[in-house]
Structure 1
Amino acid sequence: MFSPLILHGRRRSTELHRCCNSTILLNLLQTASAFSSYSLEDGRKGKTFTVSYLVDSLGLAKKLAESVSFEDKGKPDSVLSLLRSHGFTNSHISSIVTDYPQLLISDAERSLAPKLRFLKSRGASSFELTETLSKVPRILGMKEEKSISIYYDFVRDVIEADKSSKYKRVCLSSLPQGIKQENKLRNVSALRDLGVPQRLLLPLLISDHQLLCGDGKFKESLKKVVEMGFDPTTSKFVKALRIVQRFSNKAIEDKVSFCVRLGFDVDDVWAMFKKYPPFLNNSEKKISQTVETLKKCGLHQDEILSLFEKFPQCISYSEQKMEKAIATLLCLGFSKGDLAMILKRLPQCIGLSAESVKEKTEFLVKEMNWSLKAVVSTPAVLGYSLEKRTVPRCDVIKALMTRGLLGNEPPTMSPVLAITDEAFLNKYVRKHDDKELVAELMATFNGKKRKNKQSL
């Protein structure tokens, strides 16, 4: 009946998890099949055109643009021209494409233009229009003018209310007819009253997810999540709400009971849920499969349970991805004992790209002459960016070794790669009295970063 969770859940402020726009955009563009696929025969030609088009027209980074392809530039070009004619800046358009990439293949004249004209006919200024639609562009995907009006007005009211230094409630005196819309607006308003921020709140409004469509069930679920102690300003709050809303009390208790049979304490299960709410989305079969896969790495049952407690996200990794990562590590020369140690220290390693793990390990071992044992001792290096972190620092180390300032062997891996940029520069660059040498080392360090930034 949720009592263990409610009893043991304590409200704690957690740090906001922010996603880089480029990462979100990459993920969305990769899944937007309507305009991200192309045939093998004309793939190369289409790819070249797409990269050039997206970089020149949208200002997207080259690496992101390479993941997209249009068969015909007519639609996206017309959409971009239409948006710009209504005052949308590149920044607005970037936000729109990030959240709603499908808009680029809409019919500009037959679909989008009438909607923009309709909103302007209702008194929306260019500033109001661009500000509102860049925050919730999915409004433009709606078909009926009535729905467009309802959601546009509500989003506008939320934006305006949030601009005040004092908290203002959004007036719901004239709710639309229709239970689904009425419930959705009321529930979004309830979330806002709890402190859920715009970045999490507004996307829920236009979502097709059933989370906000109910009334009694939503209130019950919201009450439980609040009592569990989730911070409403974080994404975990919304994720937990989705889980509680999706499953019945009986279904959740069955999931908890299964975890207890595996060897967890009830408190451990709730602690994992607090750390990563989607953990309870996993079926008994999926959890059992992950346990068996980790046993292949040489981990014992109690070690696997400890790993789950530390990093419950790993339960959701696909079997194929995990097995490929394991095979890659073994092929690189790591023993099963090494593999078990790596996973204990860096559980997320089981979900890293096999290609990435191979590239990083070979660089550290072959280019820098560090041993596999050094990697086992500091497995976090497998999660660091090769281009942004590892290579720039290692180039500085190689430059110092060439000048005879560090001996013939590289220093211990951890003090080179596991410390902050500032600590690294103080330890290996700024401490030298020779100003020319410091300038050279800084150029080596920053030169790699600049090169990487330009290629992204």
Structure 2
Amino acid sequence: MFSLILQRGRRSQWRTLTKATPFTQPFSSSTIATTTNTNKDLLSLEDERKKKTFTVSYLIDSLGLTTKLAESISMKASFDKRGNPDSVLKLLRSYGFTNSQISSIIATYPRFLIENPEKSLRAKLHFLKLNGASSSELTEIVSKVPKILGKSGGKWISHYYDYVKEILQDQDNTSSSSSSSSSSSSSSKQTNRTRNVSVLREMGVPQRLLLNLLISRAKPVCGKERFEESVKKIVELGFDPASPKFVNALYVFYELSDKTIDQKVNAYKKLGLSVNEVWAVFKKWPFSLKYSEKKIIQTFETLKRVGLTEEEVRLMVKRYPECVGTSEEKIVKSVETFLELGFTKDEFAMIIKRHPQCVGLAADSVKKKTEFLVKTMGWSLKVVASTPIVLGFSLEKFIFPRCNVIRVLVTKGLIDEVPAISTVLTSPKLKFLKLFVEKHKSVSHDLISIFTGDSSLID
């Protein structure tokens, strides 16, 4: 398989990119935030940037969100007109939701801002009101568990709403100072579900994770013996109750029998991992035991066929266990993408060893980033392969701002050449600013403006 992919990669003309001279086109402000080769791509990028900027300003002004949260929401849903989002906020406020509660809902479901509120929200809220939810209950429960609004069908919405209401009431009963007789009465009525949630709450599992457990189709908190056995195993393995991994591990142990878990562990052992390494992988990513023995072996074999040695595959699984769930098709497509761009077999192996997450990156994203880094900035493919973590950074929010600062400095003759890729893209923000912005006081104001879109991804 790898030889066929490699032949395709060798026919690629992408190696010519390494011969490109940085900044062959006159540098101007209009080129700062654009790097694609066609006018259509340029316009699309600019339009998207404007929509995100408008969305961020709208959310800050309308709901008082922090810039960071507003930017996060704009990455999932952006718009350039007030009409639809205004209607969404008006609808939620008409049901009594405060700005803080609306923020929780929108942060969970940004798409509500761009969907028709009559179809996506009003019917669900109206259904809950018809089924007896008071205004105060409705706003409290929906804002604490916005995922209720993501359910389709009145039956499911009502079902999950009742679950959450029951747990919140149980929490109130537990925290209130009541008489021994009333406590006894409450206890006698307590279901497995409420008792188990109370146990998890006392262990330190956050409320947000408890409520998510309740609206999941899987019900690891509904049993008794199985629940107790699962929690005991998780505690013995040392999971932190405050971590989402604790809940993920609960799902796995609750759903799988001891025999099935042993089979999964043995599958990894056959591929060269020790028992301790298998459990270390599980602690890093609990869902590693959910895949069938066939799937586990298939992933190992696929990674070997595309050029990794057995030891390199084991190292990859230990560093990035999520790769076990990656389909054969996606792995092969990843190899094809890198080879078509001109990376050699050895360079691809280097990329995967140094940053295994690259195997899961979208092909279009890898192509755009590689083109910019090689053709526009002038770094070689070998240099990119030596620092593959940069391929996981946001092109628009992280790579463009930093690289465009460098482009200005080179164009104005303030530095002689483009610095090393690691210095530009993997330095902490404060170090980057000190090296390339603060020391050039004559243009520091302009450089700060260019740098504004940067995100603190590696502080």
- Same-fold call, TM > 0.5? yes
Q: Distance in 2 between matches of 1:150 and 1:381?
A: 44
2:259 to 246, 250, 253: 250
Query: Structure 1 residue 79: deviation in Å?
Result: 8.1
The answer for the alignment partner of 1:425 in structure 2 is 433
- Give the aligned partner of residue 119 of structure 1: 133
Give the Cα–Cα distance (whole angstroms) in 2 for the partners of residues 63 and 366 of structure 1. Answer: 27
Distance 1:79 1:341 in 2: 48
Structure 2 gaps, min length 5: 1-50, 64-69, 113-118
CA positional deviation for 1:96: 3.1
Q: How does 1:30-41 map to 2 (within 5 A)?
A: none
Please state if 1:438 is matched with 2:444. Answer: yes
Q: How many residues align?
A: 373
Q: Which segment is superposed worse, 289-298 or 272-281? A: 289-298
Counterpart-to-counterpart distance in 2, 1:98 and 1:159: 26
Distance 2:355 2:160 in 1: 48
Aligned partner of 1:310 in structure 2 is: 319
1:386 aligns with 395
C-alpha separation between the residues in 1 aligned to 2:422 and 2:310? 30
Q: How does 1:261-410 map to 2 (within 5 A)?
A: 261-407=270-416, 409-410=417-418
Is 1:412 the counterpart of 2:433? The answer is no
Deviation of 1:77 (Å) = 9.9
Query: SS of the counterpart of 1:196?
Result: coil
Corresponding residue number in structure 1 for 2:37 = none
- Contact 2:213/2:219 (8 A) holds in 1: no
Per the TM alignment, residue 81 of structure 1 is displaced from its structure 2 partner at its CA by 5.4
Contact kept in structure 1, 2:204 and 2:242, CA below 8 Å: yes
Q: CA deviation at 1:150?
A: 6.7
Alignment of 1:152 with 2:165, yes or no, is yes
Q: Pick the aligned partner of 2:186 from 158, 171, 174.
A: 174
Alpha-carbon distance in structure 2 between the residues aligned to 1:378 and 1:410: 16
Q: 2: distance between equivalents of 1:163 and 1:382? A: 52
Whether the 8 Å CA contact 1:79–1:108 is kept in 2: the answer is: no
- One-letter amino acid matched to 2:133: L
Could you tell me the TM-score, scaled by structure 2's length?
A: 0.72
2:129 maps to a residue whose letter is: A
Q: Give the whole-Å Cα distance in 2 for the aligned partners of 1:146 and 1:306.
A: 44
- 1:342–1:379 CA contact under 8 A, matched in 2: yes
Counterpart secondary structure, 2:191: helix
| Per-residue Cα deviation, 1:230-273 (whole angstroms, up to 9, x for no partner) | 00000010111111111111111111112111111111111101
Residue 291 of structure 1 contacts residue 304 of structure 1 at CA under 8 Å; is this kept in 2?
Answer: yes
Q: Is the 8 A contact 1:295 1:301 kept in 2?
A: yes
The Cα shift of 1:295 comes to 1.7
- Contact 1:299–1:340 (Cα < 8 Å) also in 2: yes
Within-5 A mapping of 1:177-216: 182-216=191-225
Please report how far the alpha carbon of residue 290 of structure 1 lies from its aligned counterpart in structure 2 after TM superposition: 1.4
Identity %: 47
State the one-letter code of the partner of 1:442.
I
Q: For residue 33 of structure 2, what is the aligned residue in structure 1?
A: none
Over 3 Å counting, the alpha-carbon distance change for 1:418 and 1:308 in structure 2 is same
CA contact (8 A) 1:96 1:134 kept: yes
Query: Does the 8 Å CA contact 1:195/1:233 hold for their aligned counterparts?
Result: yes
Q: Give the partner amino acid of 1:112.
A: L
CA distance in 2, matches of 1:294, 1:155: 47
Measured in 2, the distance between the counterparts of 1:176 and 1:293 equals 55
- Alignment TM-score, normalising by the size of structure 1: 0.72
Q: Which position in structure 2 is the counterpart of 1:64?
A: 76
Q: Which amino acid aligns with 1:436?
A: S
